[in-house]
Amino acid sequence: IMNPKLVNLIKITAICLIAVVLAGCNRNDTLKVVTLGQEIKTEAERLEPETTLTLPDLIFAKMAWVYNDRYAVLALKTRDFSTALYDMQTGEILKKFLHYGNGPQEILLALYRMVGDTLTVRDMNRGKMYLIPLAKLPDVEIIEQQANIFSAEYIPYKGKYLALNPYFFKNEKMGIDTKENMLLVSDGAEREFHDDKLLAINVVQGTLLYNKNRDRIAFLNGSDPLITIFNSELNPVVEVKGPVDYEVSYIQPKDSYELVFYGSICTSYRSAASDDQYIYALYHGSVRDARKLGAESNHYLFVFDWDGNVIKSFVLNGITSTRSTISLGNTPGSIYVSNIDNKTDAFCIKKFSFDL
């Protein structure tokens, strides 16, 4: 007869093992891989712009983000002010702000992201981020925050910053895996440099999106056709690969710790926006040399859910610039895309509507 104490110990051990197995089964960290073929492009629905707003020649804009179907925040080409607020109904510049310089509320290098109802303008040179609450427009409130972060991409996140790790790189063909996490969280207080690590800040760039309700994050690579979706623990749970329109090549120069592109520079996801249900990705699969030769190429809108499933794909007629940006309209199934005409250099904002 087995010792009763031993029987109880076996029962407790078995219960613990079952609990561990069930906990493992319930974890949301199994990587799902979605591979996109050329059919996402060949079967895409072609969309004509519903409206086209061409800005006056004397407004030297290069990018725009639309809020509330009326106001456009413009990134300017000029060297006095970096940013302007434009009223699309009246055709007026309401205010210019964030002057270039090294003084209070001035900026040296303006990099923009629209994060929910907030436009962020970051200046990595000065370690600053400026937040503009869009719900207060046409009043422009500028909130200055310290953002001393060494990263190509970072956004506000749970009272801190979510950043792309500049030392993350993984490439099977090159046999390189830095074993770093792709994402990191920073309080913006101090930059971290590591001279002994491979630096990929110039080759791994793109757009970060955050879904607050689902507590999910998406990173859309600007060169490689790759989208990575992360859970609340910053673990990758979905990878969306393709379509493969080119091969991105990298090289580590001799006696250098920094990776650079090798050959032609490629473009994939140029801009993106999101809501609680979907990710809206502006895709342009091309290489710079082909663009220089005048090769025609389409700009696409790929719509995904937050599990990486393709919902629909569209060809956006009239979009010609690789610097185009996307923002969402008030009505579901409506977007705004800024564009610089590749023949006339005219800057315009086009609205597209579609059914999902």
- Alpha-carbon distances, residue 36 vs 240, 286, 297 (angstroms): 7, 16, 18
CA distance 234 to 245: 29
Q: Is the pTM of this model over 0.85?
A: yes
Burial tier of 269 (Cβ tally within 10 Å: 0-12, 13-18, 19+):
buried
Q: Give the model's pLDDT for residue 23.
A: 41
- 14: helix, coil or strand? helix
Do 113 and 73 meet the contact criterion of CB atoms below 8 Å apart? no
Phi-psi region of 289 (alpha: psi -120 to 50; beta: other; left: phi over 0): alpha
Rg (CA), the chain: 23
Low-confidence ranges of the chain (pLDDT < 70): 1-29, 288-296
How many angstroms separate the CA atoms of 24 and 211, rounded? 24
- Tell the residue number behind the tokens 């007869």, with chain if given: 1
